[in-house]
Structure 1
């Protein structure tokens, strides 16, 4: 890959043959993945470093991207950029925030991220909303759609794809609290830093385990509770994680799952999941808490969901949260176990903090069980 010029052309080619022409951003090269769109007005660096986006090309619907640069210490949700590529309308080569460490362009160049700007993101979003999620490829070095369509065939479909083992930690590590009060074993399926911060801020000494760690090794640490993280890929393609959660449930210790962790808890409880026509990705999704009757504005990032009919038919699972846009399942809890989960991201980085009470509820369950 070579460095881009300010007027380097680029192509975005969708799986169905649709082609968009624009200008290159980031590294000059070719990259592909599943195309999806995020409607957030801010927080692009947190989005790009969220491991749940691994293998995906992000369309930012906000018209200006890059205008406030990047901060390496405070706004990264993992150890680097996890998206496969980026699509936007206007890409700013300069940034105005004086605390920024670099421009987004420099950040993408160092991270080997290929992108395209100068395209009508409204048209792209409408197209994939109508046609459904699909793979795509971006290139600023090949400007002929025909060979790009051939390369697209080699990109695997997200359905049936196991990715957590590729983005999770490869070694066990500890994160302590300033005032540690209890132990939480974190099954890392692609965890975000801000989720761990929300746990340690509440007195949790967290030990983070790789996704495929045998349950016996996790249980040997004798945690007070289990946390199952967010992450990328198809939950149905990772039976190892569902088995780990099944064994954790048998201990009757408190368990909390977020996003992919919610889906894995559902699978471990005998429910099933499915791939959505289009996922939920943004900062303003309305969710109703059926226990309190209150509505929450939530941050979301998922392309799979739990089947509603399975939840309704299960004698030991209670529906706790529902999406007010499309009535999909947003939260469940076990009636027979101290275990619950939500589909959205209560740490909300980026996003509103309406749902951070869920971390308090998890801590409350642990305190009750001790």
Structure 2
């Protein structure tokens, strides 16, 4: 790995780091030397220890929704090496998880909903106002305000969450997005009543995090739905009372048998239109489904599927949490043995990042994490 080297550069000091660069839509990652600008007064420099691989990284790489070239990675974990003069929350030596960007000034940010920040798309997918990276004299875009598929990252203080230094740091990166999304959707958004029923569609990292969160919330019946038996087996291990293979059974009928009248809540993580319709059909009257998966354009019968039985559909981004408050809670649940998300993780060397993405795509690995050292 290239050790950082500070040098003077037009516009300020830069350091040389190694990063996995995506040069064009759908192209594999290429690890190479990149120059990273020093942190500004509101920013921190983090030595990245490990970064989770998230489906959103693959969507950004393959679907042309970001500028290229770009350094992806948005579930970073590392150690603060330098903090700008206006940074108050963390300092050198602190262990941190990096999460998404938000402006901190709009109505949603000020009302504790930063994941629906009015500038969410610009800050996280467009590198708006963020010019930190260069390669061979050419600008390289930043992702989620962190670009943590790299040996070092600079991030705004609002991206950074301090975590205890007695918990394995390499494990914690996925809390910044995927695992926060699944668990936060249950605990922070749906807030299911004690003794209620819930079904989770899709048993990837997001869905299994929702399963674990449902047990923490005290749901009486937790149902997991997927088409891979290995994932359904893990869902049972993590607390699901029923695990249904959608390729083998009538999911709506089986949920009806298990609950009597359908579930109070549902979390839909797949983005598959047919599964979205299932999630609505299997709700009891006045039930709520949280849509977390990225769906294509689809048609919904507003009267028959929603209004006629008083059902609610809500979209949820990043679990609708405040990361600085919620992620430390997840760490504490993990310490207590109530949130064993380590069972989802498999580690890869940084040099094997393309294999990590392939194993995520095929479902071989639920949550790959690439280690930088």
Q: With the length of structure 1 as denominator, give the TM-score of the two structures.
A: 0.32
Q: With the length of structure 2 as denominator, give the TM-score of the two structures.
A: 0.31
Higher helix share: 2
